[in-house]
Chains A and B, each alone.
Chain A
Amino acid sequence: DVKVTQSSRYLVKRTGEKVFLECVQDMDHENMFWYRQDPGLGLRLIYFSYDVKMKEKGDIPEGYSVSREKKERFSLILESASTNQTSMYLCASRPLRDRAETQYFGPGTRLLVL
């Protein structure tokens, strides 16, 4: 069974803090993704990575950065958290080029920025 884990289910931070969200997958997938989910807006892609140390901007990268030092781990960084970054954050992974393969999601992190 594919497993994608996220470091926290719930997180409360203060405005201006640096926030790290960690994601680990155990299926040797090349692709990893970070999304945020807000009511009425669906899932919006923040960043993704298709290899170690490689990253690509998604649809809403502003205010975020990422790090992929090892294949199994993909970190999302909020350099200076703001209240408009309060959201549900979802990590996912999938194989690189198999179009028929699905995407596997972690359980999500609900972040509240005060």
Chain B
Amino acid sequence: GIQVEQSPPDLILQEGANSTLRCNFSDSVNNLQWFHQNPWGQLINLFYIPSGTKQNGRLSATTVATERYSLLYISSSQTTDSGVYFCAVLDHLTSGTYKYIFGTGTRLKVLA
């Protein structure tokens, strides 16, 4: 099956700093998502980005599908950015449905 690896596993930033999170995947994909899990456990979708670049405020993401990686950029980080960032790719099943394969996440802590 598809393998998804994320780096770094942990990241500590001072408020205002920029960061780049990386997701590598082992096979071609047609759906890649970035999720943020806040400190209370809620996961929220950030980007659906199987290829190309998208931006949403201080966050942007780029997926280079041919080289099997995706990057999540956080600029001018804030304490509310703290939490765990997951990359997930969609795996097509023989039953005709799909399931996500998640990376192990990057735990980000932004210090005030």
CB distance from A76 to the nearest CB of B (A): 16
The CA-CA distance from A30 to B99 in the complex, in Å, is 12
Decide if A48 touches B99 in the complex (CB within 8 Å).
yes
Stretch at the interface among A12-20, A36-44, A63-71: A36-44
Contact present for A97 and B97 (CB under 8 Å)? yes
A110 engages B41 (CB within 8 Å):
yes
Q: A99-B31, A99-B90, A102-B33 are in contact. Are A43 and B42 (CB under 8 A)?
A: no
* A58 surroundings in chain B (CB, below 8 A): 99
Q: How many Cβ-Cβ contacts under 8 Å join chain A to chain B?
A: 58
Contact residues of A between 77 and 108, Cβ < 8 Å to B: 88, 90, 92, 94, 96-97, 99-100, 102-105, 107-108
Within 8 A of A (CB), among B69-100: 86, 88, 90, 93, 95-100
Residues of B within 8 A of A104 (CB): 45
Are B48 and A102 touching (Cβ within 8 A)? yes
Given contacts A42-B86, A42-B102, A102-B45, contact A107 B33 (CB under 8 A): no
Categorize the interface residue count of chain B.
Answer: 20 to 34
Establish whether residues A108 and B41, one from each chain, have CB atoms under 8 Å apart when the complex forms: yes
User: Top 6 nearest A-B pairs by Cβ distance?
Assistant: A42-B104, A108-B41, A105-B43, A102-B45, A43-B102, A50-B97
> Chain A residues in contact with chain B, CB under 8 A?
30-31, 33, 35, 40-43, 45, 48, 50, 56, 58, 88, 90, 92, 94, 96-97, 99-100, 102-105, 107-108, 110
Q: Which residues of B come within 8 Å of A, CB atoms?
A: 9, 30-31, 33, 35, 40-45, 48, 86, 88, 90, 93, 95-100, 102-105
